[in-house]
A = this chain, B = another copy of it.
Amino acid sequence: MLTINEHYLKLQASYLFSDIARRVAAFQAAHPDVEIIRMGIGDVTNPLPQACIQAMHRGVDEMGTVAGFRGYGPEQGYGFLREAIAKHDFQAHGAAIQADEIFVSDGAKCDTGNIQELFATDVKVAVPDPVYPVYLDTNVMAGRTGQFRDGRYEGIVYLDSTRANNYVPALPEEQVDLIYLCFPNNPTGSTITREQLQTWVEFARENRALILFDAAYEAYIRDPELPRSIYEIEGAREVAIEFRSYSKSAGFTGTRCAFTVVPKECRAFDSQGNRQLIHPLWNRRHSTKFNGVSYPVQRAAEATYSPEGREQCKALIDGYMANARIIRQGMAALGFHAVGGDNAPYVWIEAKEDSWDFFDLLLSRAGVVCTPGAGFGKCGQGYIRLSAFNSEANVITAMTRIKEALS
């Protein structure tokens, strides 16, 4: 008899964004005239940079000719892209990452979801709260948790990120092995200083743990004092894997390209306590279960590093950041505690009531969709997330509507 992986049955029935979509659809059906403004899901809205469009066209044309056609590419990504990443995203910022430590993929969601496969089922996992649901769900599926009780999965060490700690969790007081961190943070928009990140790296070194550092929002960092990569921190190469994406930096949510950095020295252990390098394990997983990113898409990603591409990406991000400022200032002016939006495209707002109640209020009275903080974990209860991914006009309209709805 074929039995299922029963850990799947522990998963909470509905996925945050499906819940939101359902409520929005119901509201729209009841109020067909309202022009809903979606500031919930973190999806970009502006077109791809022209440099990427042109590069992708050239890549497509190559695929239509005998001389230019490319079949299977290297699973880890083409050299032209890995070299550009190493140079521009790391070496230019003082992080000594080499091209062969880069694994190109079709999404940071895939990589942050798949990476846990490399580790034993009984490792202790630490996850921030609030948090992007994929870190947790993929560990539930793998059997690293007990049941979901009282808003949390048994067996997980939750790292509370609250107003009291400025949304940067304290080091855990117990042994943990696999630590997920995300800065600039989704959903709170908070950032981590060099000194704070240094304490996490030291913790990982001392506790023979590993940090999974999700830097998908790195392009939004404006403060030059903040670290853009965990590899700017001394000692991180042995204890950290970093995830990046073109989704938010260049508008690739529908185009699909991302990458993961696994330094050659990065290590875990076998059950005998012997050091085991992670690079060959991830390489094996990546080349066994993945077949590389579409060639024209890799050319589009490469184009983000050209002079025009960099300028166009910067303009994209500048636009979203201007929106973020409008949102944060608008909510603050209405008397709400609001953080983020200065080095991240998300603003995290204390709702002064239940997250979903405030979600329903904004939807019904202002026609604005937010993301209820409770969807990101227990510590998100009483908060909402507003995303800056929209047109400026929509953001201004939304803030005007919210102001009217709440006064």
A268-B3, A296-B56, A296-B296 as given contacts; A291 in contact with B119, CB under 8 Å: no
CB A16 to nearest CB in B, in angstroms, measures 11
CB under 8 Å from chain B, chain A span 314-333: none
Copies in the complex: 2
Question: What is the CA–CA distance of A92 and B166 in the complex, to the nearest angstrom?
Answer: 59
A162 is an interface residue with CB less than 8 A from chain B? no
Q: Which residue of B lies closest to A209 (CB)?
A: B2
Q: Which residue of B lies closest to A133 (CB)?
A: B288
CB A138 to nearest CB in B, in angstroms, measures 6
A172 is an interface residue with CB less than 8 A from chain B? no
Question: What is the CA–CA distance of A340 and B232 in the complex, to the nearest angstrom?
Answer: 55
A396 is an interface residue with CB less than 8 A from chain B? no
Question: What is the CA–CA distance of A407 and B208 in the complex, to the nearest angstrom?
Answer: 62
- Check A63 against B47 for contact (C-beta < 8 Å): yes
A165 is an interface residue with CB less than 8 A from chain B? no
Question: What is the CA–CA distance of A287 and B354 in the complex, to the nearest angstrom?
Answer: 27
- Check B290 against A254 for contact (C-beta < 8 Å): no
Question: CB-defined interface of A263-282 with B at 8 Å, one 1/0 digit per residue?
Answer: 00000111101001010010
Chain B residues with CB below 8 A from A285, complex form: 8, 141
- Check B5 against A119 for contact (C-beta < 8 Å): yes
In-complex Cβ contact of A3 among B114, B270, B289, B295 (8 A): B270
- Check B209 against A284 for contact (C-beta < 8 Å): no
A66 is an interface residue with CB less than 8 A from chain B? yes
Chain B residues with CB below 8 A from A114, complex form: 289
A2-B269, A289-B110 as given contacts; A63 in contact with B53, CB under 8 Å: yes
Question: What is the CA–CA distance of A294 and B8 in the complex, to the nearest angstrom?
Answer: 27
15 contacts between A and B (CB under 8 A): A2-B119, A2-B208, A3-B119, A3-B268, A3-B271, A4-B120, A6-B270, A8-B285, A43-B71, A48-B63, A50-B64, A56-B60, A63-B255, A134-B289, A138-B289
Given contacts A4-B268, A138-B288, 17 further A-B contacts (CB under 8 A): A1-B273, A2-B209, A2-B210, A4-B120, A4-B278, A45-B69, A47-B65, A47-B66, A48-B63, A63-B254, A63-B255, A69-B251, A71-B251, A71-B253, A113-B288, A113-B289, A254-B295
Which 6 interchain pairs have the tightest Cβ spacing?
A113-B289, A53-B64, A43-B71, A2-B177, A71-B253, A70-B254
Chain B residues with CB below 8 A from A3, complex form: 119-120, 122-123, 177, 268-271
A96 is an interface residue with CB less than 8 A from chain B? no
CB A289 to nearest CB in B, in angstroms, measures 4
CB A172 to nearest CB in B, in angstroms, measures 14
Question: What is the CA–CA distance of A315 and B54 in the complex, to the nearest angstrom?
Answer: 30
Chain B residues with CB below 8 A from A210, complex form: 2
- Check A64 against B48 for contact (C-beta < 8 Å): yes
A46-B69, A48-B69, A63-B48 as given contacts; A255 in contact with B295, CB under 8 Å: yes
Chain B residues with CB below 8 A from A57, complex form: 57, 60
A11 is an interface residue with CB less than 8 A from chain B? yes
- Check B60 against A45 for contact (C-beta < 8 Å): no
A61 is an interface residue with CB less than 8 A from chain B? yes
In-complex Cβ contact of A4 among B44, B72, B137, B281 (8 A): B281
Question: What is the CA–CA distance of A268 and B3 in the complex, to the nearest angstrom?
Answer: 6
Question: What is the CA–CA distance of A254 and B71 in the complex, to the nearest angstrom?
Answer: 4
